[in-house]
Copies of this chain bind each other. A is one copy, B any other.
Amino acid sequence: MANRQIRLMNEARARASFDSRELTEFIYGGADVVAKREAEFARIEAALQTPGPDTLPPLYGEVPRTALFLDGLRVGKAMLAEKLAHKHTIFDRITPRYVMGNASPFGVHLIMFVPALKLLGSEEQSREWVPPAERCAILGAYAQTELGHGSAVRDLQTTATFDKDTDEFVLHTPTPTAAKYWPGGLAFSASHAVVLARLVIGPQDYGVHAFLAQLRSLDDWTPCRGVELGDLGMKLGHNSVDNGYAVFSHMRIPRANLLARHAQVRRDGAYVVLDAGARARALYGVMLCTRSALVGHIPLQLAQGGVIALRYSTVREQGRLPFAPAESPEVAIIEYRAQQHRLLSLMARAFALWFAGREAGAAYDATIDAAGGIDSPRLADLHATLAGLKAYATQTVADGVEEARRCCGGHGYSALGGFADLGPSAAAMATVEGDYWVMYQQTARWLLKRADAEGHRWLPRARLAPDADVRNPAIQLDVFRHRAVRLVAEHNASLRDAVQQGRSRAEAWNTHMVGLVSAARAHIEHTVLHAFVAAVGRAPPGPVRAVLTRLCSLFALTTIDGPHGLGFVEDGHVSGEHLRQVRKAVDELLVTLAPDAVALGDAWNFTDASLASALGCRDGDVYERMIRWTRQLPLNVEVAKTAGVFRPGFEEYIRPIIRGKL
């Protein structure tokens, strides 16, 4: 029996201009891929005994730290079992809830530990240590971050001192700030870790190298001598993983455990660099691998937030427009232009980032050769793009998921809405693997270098033709490119001026830091729009290409008239009149796209279980499901057993108050 909300959802779905299944196939790369994905999700959700959408997801009840971690282990084990049994990699990088894989206790094993062994270990080490595909005889963590240092690798403080007498390295934590802190799985789930530490031989510090350290006995899992391991406690999210700390106290590991692909220590303590350049690139390589995984997958989290909010807005009838007749019925809030603006531009960003992520992934694959070597001429470009895209994508996703939550009103604040998990997961990504302000500066530095190499060529200060059609993708790309190139050129000139006036380059950089970051951001926004336009060109002709064309234009236009829009306008390139055209075009696009909203969400092909949201289920049955899940909450079930009174609270706190016994 379809209630009103289910009927509204069905009607909205029927209004679409395209077949959402066809768009699904374009998003993920073909009908066969989609069919495989569906089978993979169905299997793992069955393996995890994920309840159907009428049952409260168990973790929305009582969620102490220990229970969350135990559930993480349960899900992690099921993911590994699925991977080994069915030989696929879908859950190597994401969990069955579309959170990044490092939210699972064994996620870092797949995302960082194994790639690090391959990139940094010698062939012999790789053969010996990389677990064969059919089992995981060891489980690894990647211990880079310390209490006092994150992605600034060169300043790490943990030491690995060579002891010639015993032919061992001695791992040690010399100060509180040197404690390894944050690595996923490090607390209780990993048997081994790749540990980044300063190689010290005699009086000489050779800088940071990678070592394989066994942390726990494979027999009884007790910690090895010389290491203290523990959990970091509750975090905003990712509580199913045991992000941990390690304090080393003169812990000994064999000399052979220096990852020796590019540098080795001989028996006599001699340090031999096989290939210094390759060594530096390989340490980068691990970070690039992680960043490419990140930018490739987090757009899915933005899409999830958008799907929940779009579906809920379709069935949430509340209020009416100002000046509407007093007795007119309430309208579904997706009818409000502001709600369309918020949610459709958010969906446009999800698509934009998805296609940009695919492009960056392909660039990464082209840079890393099959043997794990890194193509050095391409490394700087890839690094600059991935750094900036990591910054832009994570910030956009984190902000966008929060915006989607706010689009759901009060219910977005309830765990049952699905955002209690999704929001903090997305928020984590803006920080892990490099804060976005740091990342943007890496892109900025490369942009200035490239501008210098190109001899400070600079486009004329042409204004956009007054009659330029702002709906035209070629014009949009030009506008984005103009802003990016102008900002780089201007800041480059400012930096040179400051240096000529006697300031150090470092001081000059600091003065212009905020502007340099906006130049990098502008460059990345051009890159993203470029990838989106290219993807539209590959889309199936007909209704799917038509809807993507509109979304792409919406992305471009809401970026121009967006929070970083000053850069388009301040030099007069885009005029006030152009802005009026932009807003008119946006309004028209929203009107055209509104009937496609639900189908655009459907196209992402998320299961109800992966959304775990009473607001976002496919059927639209929001209100009855909210009440149903609420009644299933453990606290309510318990209190019902004691005549509807929460006894501990009443006796201890409430009775004294109402009896005046305070």
Contact = CB atoms under 8 A, between A and B. Distances in A.
A216 B188 CA distance: 47
B65 A513 contact: no
Interface in A154-204: 155, 176-177, 179, 181-182, 187-189, 191
A576 B571 CA distance: 6
A648 B430 CA distance: 33
Interface in A288-333: 316-324, 330
A558 to B, nearest CB: 10
Contacts of A658: 136-139, 191, 218
In the complex, the 7 A-B pairs of residues with the closest C-beta atoms, listed nearest first: A563-B563, A323-B505, A234-B415, A321-B506, A73-B653, A62-B64, A188-B646
A222 B643 contact: yes
Contacts of A61: 65, 233-234
A232 B566 contact: no
8 contacts: A69-B646, A74-B652, A77-B657, A138-B658, A233-B629, A235-B420, A406-B430, A413-B428
A605 B179 CA distance: 32
**Can you tell how many copies of this chain the complex includes?**
2
A509 interface: yes
Interface stretch (A260-268, A278-286, A335-343): A335-343
Given A338-B513, A338-B514, A150 B660 contact: no
A514 B638 CA distance: 47
B402 A639 contact: no
A636 to B, nearest CB: 4
Nearest to A339: B437
Contacts of A635: 65-66, 69, 231, 233
Interface stretch (A78-86, A470-478, A525-533): A78-86
A92 to B, nearest CB: 15
Given A413-B427, A413-B428, 11 more contacts: A60-B233, A60-B234, A61-B233, A77-B657, A188-B646, A222-B644, A230-B631, A236-B423, A338-B517, A409-B431, A565-B566
A579 interface: yes
Interface string A618-653: 000001101101110111101100011110111011
Contacts of A372: none
Interface stretch (A13-21, A141-149, A450-458): A141-149
A155 B318 CA distance: 8
Contacts of A74: 652-653
A646 to B, nearest CB: 4
Interface string A382-399: 000000000000000000
A29 to B, nearest CB: 28
Nearest to A218: B658
A564 interface: yes
A660 B137 contact: yes
B147 A626 contact: yes
Q: Residue among A216, A402, A410, A629 with the most chain B CB within 10 A?
A: A410
Interface in A104-157: 106, 134-139, 145, 147-150, 152, 155
Contacts of A35: none
Nearest to A437: B338
A435 interface: yes
B653 A77 contact: yes
A603 interface: no
B623 A177 contact: yes
A222 B645 contact: yes
A287 interface: no
A245 B627 contact: yes
Contact of A62 (B65, B147, B341): B65
A603 B529 CA distance: 46
A73 B517 contact: no
B322 A505 contact: yes
Contacts of A648: 70
B410 A506 contact: no
Contacts of A650: 188, 221
A511 interface: yes
A559 to B, nearest CB: 12
A414 B238 CA distance: 10
Contacts of A65: 61-63, 633-635
A539 interface: no
Contacts of A218: 658
A420 B234 contact: yes
Contacts of A77: 653-654, 656-657, 662
Contacts of A177: 623
